[in-house]
Amino acid sequence: DAGVTQSPTHLIKTRGQQVTLRCSPISGHKSVSWYQQVLGQGPQFIFQYYEKEERGRGNFPDRFSARQFPNYSSELNVNALLLGDSALYLCASSPGQSNQPQHFGDGTRLSIL
Amino acid sequence: DQQVKQNSPSLSVQEGRISILNCDYTNSMFDYFLWYKKYPAEGPTFLISISSIKDKNEDGRFTVFLNKSAKHLSLHIVPSQPGDSAVYFCAASGSGGSNYKLTFGKGTLLTVNP
């Protein structure tokens, strides 16, 4: 079975631009979460969606937004990119029930010039 | 304020010996804890988890111990193998189980020498 897939794998943008990252969850998983990992740190929670509704939001500015589609795939949008947005963006999916671990994709490496 | 702390940035062990990775947390509302392993250029891979109602969970070579009074957990790998060399992240979640947001530590780089 396919795992969590993310696209693109790498992306280079300049300051002020906008970016959209995509995630397809494991088949049957209804919950998708987004995390940002900067060098030397652990992943930091950005959003969680379940059944197309936002379930949780981390401490990120309004430049960050996301949505989940009827097929449970998800997009993360970041506007007005800053140099500090350079990071690995990870998507994780889970079935949606309690105590089922989140499974991660390989991430999108975003570089801001 | 870091709520999940992995105070050892790196650990080196010999093949066949035990690896012990440690993690401390400060938020008493955390009730579910997980360990993930991460190789370069890959996403984190789930290893093992433990609920706050337990103090030990075992899966093959991996055992996680939880000491709630000390707000401390550890991952034991026995015997360690060279393929275990990776960054290990401790993560915690609050009410709602592992489906709720995960709070991660900074990770510990484990190197297992042949």
Q: Is residue B93 within 8 Å of residue B100, measured between CB atoms?
A: yes
pLDDT of residue B29: 87
Interface of chain A toward chain B, CB-CB under 8 angstroms = 4, 31, 33, 35, 40-45, 48, 50, 55-56, 58, 90, 92, 94, 96-107
| Partner residues linked to B49 by β-bridges | B34
pLDDT of residue B95: 66
pLDDT tens digits for range A94-112: 987 767 899 999 999 999 9
Tell if the CB–CB gap between A104 and B34 is shorter than 8 Å.
no
The residue-averaged pLDDT of B87-97 equals 85
What residues in B contact A50, CB-CB < 8 Å?
99
Alpha helices in chain B (DSSP H): none
B65-100 residues labelled b (16+ CB within 10 A) or e (exposed): bbeeeebebbbbbeebeeebbbbbbbbbbbeebbbb
Element (H, E) at A86: none
Confidence of residue B96 (pLDDT cuts 50, 70, 90): low
The residue-averaged pLDDT of B14-22 equals 98
